[in-house]
């Protein structure tokens, strides 16, 4: 006689691990798939990849791009006073200093060149980190010089800052009542061919990144990767293909000088400067400056370069030298080429004594001579 099926007197369910596992499998997605089961699972997993990518991209925009975009929107171009004129004869002139790639503010460079005060009061140009508009900077210079009751202007540009200086000088010479006495070019590449191949490749690579990848103009993450890669020669080699200590030093250097430094130029600013080189407008600016306009004499052009061209690893100064001779040199030209012996590429901060001696002994007398000749020609009508 079979015993009746009484309920469990303990009151607890009688679990079986195998039945529980079976129930879990039965509740899973795809448990009832019969055909192409493995392929369908692979496709399902692959479909999750875009979701992960989009999530990461949203975090990249929210945490990296948008905060930097908001910060950069607060910057604007400015001219900052550095020093008054050291010569009373130069009290009617203002000198504006401009830096090249990677730097936002020319103040430190201008302070390293007290010899510029022999030409007039010295000002440093601070760029707008969202990009460069040379007409805006030219208008700002006009406004500042009018307020200071100064009508004569000298522009000094270091490296690619010289290209910007030439464009500003063109605006002032042809479109304002300011008199541009001189443009000082320090190791300036006058077109893309004057940039040495390695530096040219790095600039073109930056343009490609900025051109196609969303947020590249503002991204600190991409800037970090690009800057560290640019230093790869310093940490390449070693047992594992790179030297960890040197790699750490490179990362810390980039963080200190480029990412966390508020005076570092943005990706967008560097892009605009390099585009100015690619466009090749410097030669057109030189041609415009080589002609008198509305009774204003043509400005003097000064080119500072290493005597040994290979001391400059970024710019082919011999090439820029030839272009300047073709455009503003010659018998009746207004060109001075001043040679440094120890300096490399546009580095007055590293070689202040050599730069200041050269400016005081060669550049200042030359600009004054050109100015005197122009005044004499205006009087005699020649």
Helix (H, G, I), strand (E, B) or coil at 368: helix
Which of 16-25, 133-142, 275-284, 371-380 has the weakest average pLDDT? 16-25
CA distance 90 to 92: 5
CB 352 within 8 A of CB 322: no
Q: For the chain, what is the radius of gyration of the CA atoms?
A: 32
Asked if the model's pLDDT at residue 179 lies above 70, the reply is yes
Tell me what the mean pLDDT of segment 248-275 comes to. Answer: 80
Percent of the chain with pLDDT over 90: 45
Which tens digit of pLDDT belongs to each residue from 17-47? 676 666 655 656 555 655 666 776 677 677 7
CA distance 376 to 104: 40
**Model pLDDT, residue 197:** 85
Asked if the model's pLDDT at residue 353 lies above 90, the reply is yes
> Given the structure tokens 């052009």, which residue do they identify?
301
**Model pLDDT, residue 288:** 93
Which tens digit of pLDDT belongs to each residue from 142-153? 999 999 999 999
Given its phi and psi angles, is residue 260 left (phi above 0), alpha (psi -120 to 50 degrees) or beta? alpha
Q: Which CATH superfamily is domain 78-192+277-380 in?
A: Alpha/Beta hydrolase fold, catalytic domain (3.40.50.1820)
Domain ranges of the chain: 37-72, 78-192+277-380, 197-274
Which tens digit of pLDDT belongs to each residue from 72-124? 666 688 999 999 999 998 999 999 999 988 788 999 999 999 999 999 999 99
Q: Where are the alpha helices (DSSP H) in 13-106?
A: 17-27, 37-46, 48-60, 66-72
Question: Is residue 4 within a helix (H) or strand (E), and if so which, with residue range?
Answer: none
pTM of the entire predicted model:
0.77
Asked if the model's pLDDT at residue 5 lies above 60, the reply is no
Residues 6+ apart with CB under 8 A from 26: none
């Amino acid at each position: 006689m079979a015993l009746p099926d009484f309920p469990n007197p303990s009151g607890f369910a009688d679990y079986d691990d195998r039945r529980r596992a079976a129930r879990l499998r039965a509740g899973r997605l795809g448990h009832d798939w019969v055909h192409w089961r493995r392929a369908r699972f692979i496709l399902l997993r692959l479909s999750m990849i875009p979701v992960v990518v989009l999530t990461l991209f949203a975090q990249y925009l929210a945490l990296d791009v948008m905060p930097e975009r908001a910060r950069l929107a607060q910057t604007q171009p400015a001219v900052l006073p550095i020093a008054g004129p050291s010569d009373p004869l130069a009290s009617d002139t203002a000198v504006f200093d401009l830096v090249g790639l990677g730097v936002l503010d020319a103040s430190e460079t201008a302070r390293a060149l007290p010899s510029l005060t022999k030409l007039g009061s010295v000002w440093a140009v601070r760029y707008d980190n969202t990009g460069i508009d040379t007409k805006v900077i030219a208008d700002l210079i006009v406004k500042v010089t009018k307020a200071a009751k100064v009508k004569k202007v000298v522009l000094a540009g270091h490296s690619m800052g010289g290209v910007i200086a030439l464009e500003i000088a063109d605006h002032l010479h042809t479109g304002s009542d300011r008199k541009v006495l001189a443009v000082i070019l320090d190791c300036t590449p006058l077109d893309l061919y004057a940039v040495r191949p390695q530096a040219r490749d790095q600039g073109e690579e930056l343009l490609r990144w900025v051109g196609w990848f969303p947020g590249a103009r503002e991204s600190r993450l991409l800037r970090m990767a690009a800057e560290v890669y640019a230093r790869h020669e310093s940490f390449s080699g070693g047992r594992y293909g790179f030297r960890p200590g040197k790699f750490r030093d490179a990362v810390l250097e980039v963080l200190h000088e480029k990412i966390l430094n508020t005076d570092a130029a943005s990706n967008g600013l560097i892009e605009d400067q390099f585009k100015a080189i690619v466009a090749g407008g410097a030669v057109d600016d030189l041609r415009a400056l080589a002609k008198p306009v509305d009774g204003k004499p043509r400005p003097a052009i000064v080119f500072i370069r290493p005597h040994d061209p290979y001391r400059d690893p970024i710019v082919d100064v011999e090439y820029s030298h030839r272009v300047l001779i073709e455009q503003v040199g010659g018998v009746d030209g207004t060109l001075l080429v001043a040679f440094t012996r120890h300096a490399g590429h546009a580095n007055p901060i590293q070689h202040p004594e050599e730069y200041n001696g050269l400016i005081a002994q060669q550049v200042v007398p030359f600009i004054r001579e050109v100015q005197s000749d122009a005044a004499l020609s205006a009087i005699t009508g020649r």
